[in-house]
């Protein structure tokens, strides 16, 4: 299949591009590389690409593709909270417009990167795909809005699928430390602390970045009747953890580390765990390979090889909100997250 992969230079997209290529697909990336120079190892890519802001796409950009795999977005809660209107403009309006343009251009498959954060403050009960939405952040709300609008576009010629990924973790050429398992492992490696900012009680489902990429390929290539206008929780039901359980796993793997709690740490309002049995029953070619323990071991080995330092961990390179604020401060981006003094417009 000829696939347009949006956000191919982001945390998940940088992994998904190579996975799609390995699976034999003809892949073109769409990204403006907002996180250039935020590499962990070699982030170079030989994918053909369109250097264009998602907000500026036209129908001509979508011509000739069989499928769109859509990752590009303002990618986490802190960045989303920086300017909620931008989150709405980019994550919601631009994503809906992408789906509309894809349908008009004859693209038949549209695989959308939704999120289990759509469930938001849901407590400790297991949630399947029929659970009500309860987002608590602009990021989570934007995912809900896209699902609701794009699902109404589904017909005999256009087949959207909504992949509600658990919280991502794991090694990527565009590594992030603002994700819980990555963050705790890096804290432990660089300081000896597995530092929890909550009381450790909130539940969170987690899934490795490689398993996310594999799930998207499975959805894109499965029989249309299986995935048409369907939502899938992406992960394993067994990979739901309380934060303190993840912390304990990290401290058991990273030598000479201990679990510490921030002063006055209380519960996090984001608390949910998800049932992933639906994806296991229906996407038979999706077989998750990773567990939290294996993920920590992978990251620990990578940090050892790279000689990760506290300055690396606390700097802007691997934290999305810090990097974006730096670009705005240096006037490389304007307040709308568009490039200043450049013909390339950016947000991806």
The superfamily in CATH containing domain 2-329 is: NAD(P)-binding Rossmann-like Domain (3.40.50.720)
Angle between helices 292-306 and 180-191 (to 10 degrees): 40
Identify the pLDDT of residue 341: 62
What is residue 138's predicted lDDT score, i.e. its pLDDT? 87
Tokens of 75: 């990618």
CA distance 218 to 245: 30
CA distance 179 to 212: 15
Per-domain boundaries in the chain: 2-329
Model pLDDT, residue 343: 39
pTM comes to: 0.93
* pLDDT for res 325: 86
The CA angle 325-79-262, to the nearest 5 degrees, is 95
Which two three-digit tokens encode residue 74? 């303002």
In this prediction, residue 344 carries a pLDDT of 41
Weakly modelled stretches of the chain, pLDDT under 50 = 343-348
Identify the pLDDT of residue 11: 95
Distance CA 42, CA 189 (A): 21
pLDDT recorded at residue 189: 98
Q: Which of 275, 215, 205 is nearest to 12 (CA)?
A: 215
Q: Rounded to whole angstroms, how far apart are CA atoms 26 and 8?
A: 14
Query: Is the sign of the CA dihedral 338, 335, 315, 243 positive or negative?
Result: negative
User: What is the predicted pLDDT for the residue at 55?
Assistant: 96
| Contact (Cβ atoms closer than 8 angstroms) between residue 206 and residue 236 | no
Whole-angstrom distance, CA of residue 155 vs CA of residue 228: 9
């Amino acid at each position: 299949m000829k696939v347009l992969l949006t956000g191919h230079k982001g945390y998940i997209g940088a992994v998904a591009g190579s996975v799609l290529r390995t699976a034999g697909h003809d892949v073109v990336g769409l990204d403006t590389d907002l996180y250039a120079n935020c590499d962990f190892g070699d982030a170079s890519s030989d994918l053909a690409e369109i250097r264009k802001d998602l907000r500026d796409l036209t129908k001509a950009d979508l011509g000739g593709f069989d499928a769109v795999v859509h990752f590009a977005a303002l990618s986490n809660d802190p960045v989303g909270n920086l300017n909620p209107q931008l989150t709405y403009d980019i994550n919601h309006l631009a994503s809906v417009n992408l789906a509309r343009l894809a349908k008009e251009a004859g693209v038949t498959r549209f695989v959308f990167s939704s999120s289990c954060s759509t469930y938001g403050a849901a407590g400790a009960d297991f949630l399947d795909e029929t659970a009500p939405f309860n987002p608590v952040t602009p990021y989570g709300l934007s995912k809900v809005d896209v699902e609701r609008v794009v699902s109404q576009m589904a017909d005999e010629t256009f087949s959207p699928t909504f992949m509600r990924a658990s919280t991502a973790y794991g090694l990527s050429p565009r590594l992030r430390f603002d994700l819980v398992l990555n963050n705790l492992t890096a804290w432990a490696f660089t300081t000896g602390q597995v530092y929890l900012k909550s009381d450790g009680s909130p539940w969170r489902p987690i899934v490795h970045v490689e398993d996310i990429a594999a799930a998207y390929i499975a959805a894109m290539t499965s029989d249309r009747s299986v995935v048409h206008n369907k939502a899938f929780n992406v992960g394993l039901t067994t990979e739901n953890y309380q934060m303190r359980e993840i912390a304990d796993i990290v401290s058991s793997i990273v030598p000479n580390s201990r679990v510490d709690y921030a002063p006055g740490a209380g519960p996090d309002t984001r608390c949910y765990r998800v049932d992933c049995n639906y994806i296991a029953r229906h996407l038979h070619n999706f077989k998750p390979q990773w567990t939290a323990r294996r993920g920590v071991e992978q990251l620990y080995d990578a940090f050892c090889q790279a000689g990760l330092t506290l300055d690396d961990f606390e700097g802007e390179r691997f934290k999305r909100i810090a990097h974006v604020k730096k670009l705005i401060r240096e006037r490389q981006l304007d307040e709308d997250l568009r490039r200043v003094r450049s013909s390339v417009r950016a947000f991806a």
